[in-house]
Structure 1
């Protein structure tokens, strides 16, 4: 299959599910808190539902993709994103918002493993690493769109989510037409993979690294925008611009595949995990300075997308016989960490404040640099 025929719809689907469905929540959260009268603790709990839903759906998606192939889960992911975003656009209270969050968060878990499987089926082997990391960078495109939308539509967060839902529906149709079927009528038969992680060499470091990175990154996604709004004197466009910077620099994370090829997986992992830890610490001590806050956003956006690309390649190398499991395991543990990190962040911020909490999470990220793949 032609590289762009699979990668382009993949990038847009990831943009909708991750960028618009999941990570735009932190950008729009202050306006939602004001409209729905939610405390930081409640918004932290609702935010954790993104990751909780992700944990369940990525398991489901990994199992079904391993047995049946990628098409069904990709289509279901688009449908879940559409329903979640639509519910969030019409929500009258925090309960309906939470339901929309479950659907939107679930879409991200559904979509990751099948795209790994699709690439292993239809992209030639020496281009699969680049295809995976570029599809993964679609998150950045969605974040940029959400930031631009916030600038243009502030403070109409309901209208923003309605527009996102329409985009999700259109991209669902594109993927429905683009993703081939596998089976009796296809030139490619899908080979069932092994779902077990028992005895897989290198699985434990991958699991620990993913979990710790998930914990350390959760507060930045949920509370960084609220943090700079409280700590600095920013206009609405500057606050939304902070989010756009995360997305724009996140596109650079798509080059993780190229860096892995040149310097090795271990070097790429250590570089990414150190950078993402520094992003939280820089933000915590320079929030009132818009230039340094934007620098922190750029480092975080680039290093997050970069690191998820590294985890993706690392996982596929560890679970070499099952690409969907190789993506599912690290992304699942990343989400488990984000569930823990998001719930605790709301409580920590309410108790100790933003500065102490972000420094603490930056130090947790530093721990992740000690765990990584062996030199390769």
Structure 2
């Protein structure tokens, strides 16, 4: 199978599931809060449902993908994203919004392990690392699209979500046509039912790092735009430009595979975790200087996609017997951390304010820098 035949529809599906169905929520949240009369605490709880649904579906996807191959879960991811966005677009209250969030958030967990397995089946070994990191960077393209779309369509967040749903449906059709069935490829070696945890001792740092990084990034994804609005006189163009910067710089994270090969996994992780922690701390200075949010956005966008690429490669190298499991474990723990981080972020902001809360989450990210892959992982093939 050609590299582009799998990677391009994969990038597109990740863009709509992660960028539009999941992370665009934080960008549209102020309008949603005003329309549905939700408090910061309620919006934080609803935001945590994205990650909670992700935790459930990434386990489900790993099990089914291991048994049956990736096609079914990839298609189901598109259906789930479409349903979630559609429900969110017609939400008359917080309850239906929460239901839409569950479907939208669940789509991301369905997609990630499936594409990891698809790449292991149909992409040549020497190109698999590049394919994984570029599909992962689809999140950035989705974030850019959500930023531009939200600016053009604002303040009608319902129409925005409806257009996202239509786009998701079209990409679902593309993937339905592009992803082959396992039985049609007799050369593809796929071990059904293999959920090996070979290398579990090396997974402990991976689990801890993913969990802490998830906690540290939750506040940024959910409340960074709200912080800008209360911190200074930013126009709509400035606010949506902030979101576009996150996505544009996130595209640079697609080069994580090449940098891992050059520097080693350990160095790449240290650099990424230090950068993402600094982004939250820098954002806390938003009331001081109007350029600060954009500096923070660039660092956060690049380092988040870069780090998820690092975690992806790290996971595959630890769980060497099963690629989908190697992807699902770090991404699952990243989501668990984001559940916890989102739940407490709204509470902390209500008590301590935005500045102190973002500084706190930045220091949580610094704690993740103390944990990382062993140096020998950096010289192994993914």
TM-score class, shorter-chain normalisation, is: over 0.9
1:287-366 counterparts in 2 under 5 A?
Answer: 287-366=287-366
Structure 2 unaligned blocks of 5 or more: none
Contact 1:255 1:306 survives alignment (8 Å): yes
Structure 1 unaligned blocks of 5 or more: none
Residue of structure 2 equivalent to 1:48:
48
Residue 150 of structure 1: how far off its partner (Å): 1.3
Kindly indicate whether residue 230 of structure 2 is the aligned counterpart of residue 230 of structure 1: yes
Residue 199 of structure 1: how far off its partner (Å): 5.7
Residue of structure 1 equivalent to 2:6:
6
Cα 1:333–1:289, aligned 2, differ >3 Å: closer, same or farther? Answer: same
Residue of structure 2 equivalent to 1:82:
82
Residue 277 of structure 1: how far off its partner (Å): 0.1
Residue of structure 1 equivalent to 2:165:
165
* Corresponding residue SS for 2:200: coil
Residue of structure 2 equivalent to 1:280:
280
1: CA distance, partners of 2:288 / 2:86: 35
2: CA distance, partners of 1:125 / 1:35: 50
1: CA distance, partners of 2:191 / 2:163: 39
Paired residues, what number? 376
* Corresponding residue SS for 1:372: coil
Contact 1:197 1:203 survives alignment (8 Å): no
Residue of structure 2 equivalent to 1:217:
217
What do you get for the CA RMSD once the two structures are aligned?
1.1
2: CA distance, partners of 1:211 / 1:347: 20
- Give TM-score, length-normalised by structure 2: 0.97
CA displacement, residues 91-144 of structure 1 (integer Å, 9 cap, x when unaligned): 000000000000000000000001000000111111100100000000000000
2: CA distance, partners of 1:72 / 1:2: 20
Contact 2:148 2:244 survives alignment (8 Å): yes
Residue of structure 2 equivalent to 1:20:
20
Contact 1:279 1:299 survives alignment (8 Å): yes
CA displacement, residues 128-181 of structure 1 (integer Å, 9 cap, x when unaligned): 001000000000000000000111111111111000000100000000000000
- Give TM-score, length-normalised by structure 1: 0.98
Cα 1:257–1:185, aligned 2, differ >3 Å: closer, same or farther? Answer: closer
2: CA distance, partners of 1:188 / 1:179: 13
Residue 187 of structure 1: how far off its partner (Å): 4.4
